[in-house]
Amino acid sequence: FQMDTTAESYLDVFPLDAIVYLTPDSENVLEDIDPDKVYVLGGLVDESIHKQLTLRRAQEQSLQTARLPIREYMVRAPNPRNYHSETLAINQVFEVLCTYYETRSWPAALRAGVSSGKGYVLPETAEQ
């Protein structure tokens, strides 16, 4: 993958209607990757103290939002801590997106990027 870095804000580099801010709090499910869109992978951890911070930030900037389809393809796994989180690290989101782009399979992508420590597994894994 080719990457360019800049000190400029994504808001100044890309048209607003091309930006999709990925946040686990979005009501919109990412169903496919659009090559004409720019996906913002966050950079903020808003799992506890700053709940919904990324969603609010995107809304304040009038950006489209989406979340990975974790609820649609995965199930909550029983665990001793009763812990379930859809908040992923940037590298995990990147892994999910890359795998989906290559395979066009959300189950394969989520298997690659969502660790079992998040409390979600694919249905066939939960049955084992």
Q: Which distant-in-sequence residues (6+ apart) come within 8 Å of 112 by Cβ?
A: 95, 96, 99
Q: Provide the pairing of β-strand 38-40 with 19-22.
A: parallel
Please pick, among 12, 17, 32, 46, the residue that the annotation labels catalytic: 46
User: What is the rounded distance in angstroms from the CA atom of residue 23 to the CA atom of residue 56?
Assistant: 10
Greatest C-alpha distance within the chain:
49
Q: How far is CA 31 from CA 11, 13, 115, in A?
A: 24, 25, 21
- Tell me the one-letter amino acid at 7: A
Q: Is 32 a catalytic residue?
A: no
Active site residues: 46
